Amino acid sequence: MDLAEGIIAVVTGGASGLGEAVARTLAREGVTVGILDRDETRGPEVAAEIGGSFAAVDVADSASVAGALDALRQIHGQERIAVNCAGIARAAKTVDRDGHAHDPEVFAATLNVNLLGTFNVASQVAAGMATLDPMTSDGERGVIVNTASVAAFDGQIGQIAYAASKGGVAALTLPMARDLARSGIRVMGIAPGLFLTPMLEGLPEEAKESLGAQVPFPPRLGDPGEFAALVASICRNPLLNGEVIRLDGAIRRAPR
């Protein structure tokens, strides 16, 4: 898919972190970007800066997703690119030091945002993309990029909910790509490692350097722009489909 003027994209979690980097990168390529996020202060600001639009959304609520997508489509039209970056991370062990079992509501909330939220957006954008005319001789109509995590493969102590949710995102990539192949819609996943996102930006500089030093090469935290560059490459390369790409500098996380 050529990234150019006339292409419409939606990015969940686009008000900050990886999602914001993706939104800005696609906009610089000439793509019209709609931002979906819970942050009704920062979201509209980013959208205005990149010449896009914003719609508030709770990705875990399918009706909210439908309403937000409809609002953006009323402005820009049907999207051909969808990037799912919305997510939460809550640390809790299966059994804590006091002998208490993991709070099932915390576990469910994490899965609802990270996994069900990804499914809600991906399935609804796919239904819209399937109505479009093909763009290429291969019959491509659109591409969906979902965000997993290296935690899907080597989750750490206290990451049971997060790892399970991101493992689900990784696992749905291939069957979703197979489901949508007849419609000319590609589905990819990216599993980022340690990135300098709002989750880590608040740490002391020494702590950030220590985390970055765990990465074999380059020995630093990832830049969200590097994640966004991979998204753009996926959009451009029609043979990338049904795969989850680790973007992690060859890190493999230790148990803790």
Residues labelled catalytic = 162
CA 100 to chain centre: 32
End-to-end CA distance of the chain: 40
Query: Which two structure tokens, joined as six digits, stand for 3?
Result: 């990234």
Token pair 């493999």 is found at 252
Query: Which parts of the chain are beta strand (E)?
Result: 8-12, 32-37, 53-56, 81-84, 142-147, 185-192, 244-247
Tell me the three state secondary structure of residue 9: strand
Q: How many CB atoms lie within 10 A of CB 22?
A: 32
Which residue, among 73, 183, 65, has the nearest Cα to 118 in the 3D structure?
65
Contacts of 166 (CB under 8 A, 6+ apart): 114, 115, 148, 149, 151, 152, 155, 191
The string of DSSP codes covering 197-230 is SHHHHTS-HHHHHHHHTTSSSS-SPBPHHHHHHH
